[in-house]
Amino acid sequence: MSAMDLAVKRVYDEPAETDGYRVLVDRLWPRGLSKDRAALDEWVKELGPSTELRKWFGHDVAKWQGFREKYRAELAGAADLWRPIVAKARSEKVTLLFGASDSDHNQAVVLQEFLLEQR
């Protein structure tokens, strides 16, 4: 079993060659960002939290633990969406991109944690 190379980065940050394969994991396109500037390899919008969960969380850090648990439950039922990312991360670097301004409390952080636990 090979290790996964998964990074997390804000989509508004400058793209870098060291990012490897760049995947946007937001359900909504980031405001004010052109497709060229985003420099994506893939956008898996269905991998972002459901609209209901996203609205409930509202980037309220006090709801972070509940958000993590609920989002992980959503991910558990979406293996067809994340398995290709796991496979790719075993052979090359994959950077999960997010649009939120909070780099510590967003879905890409939870997704990275979740994916690193997969076998």
Over residues 17-31, the pLDDT tens digits come to: 999 999 999 999 999
User: Rounded to a whole number, what is the distance in angstroms from the first to the last CA of the chain?
Assistant: 8
Residues forming beta bridges with residue 23, ordered by sequence position: 42, 96
Measured distance CA(34)–CA(99) in Å, rounded: 13
pTM: predicted TM-score of the whole model, two decimal places: 0.94
Residue 1 has a pLDDT of 47
Residue 119 has a pLDDT of 78
Measured distance CA(56)–CA(54) in Å, rounded: 6
Asked whether 23 and 90 are in contact (CB, 8 A), the reply is no
Distance of CA 112 to the CA centre of its chain: 7
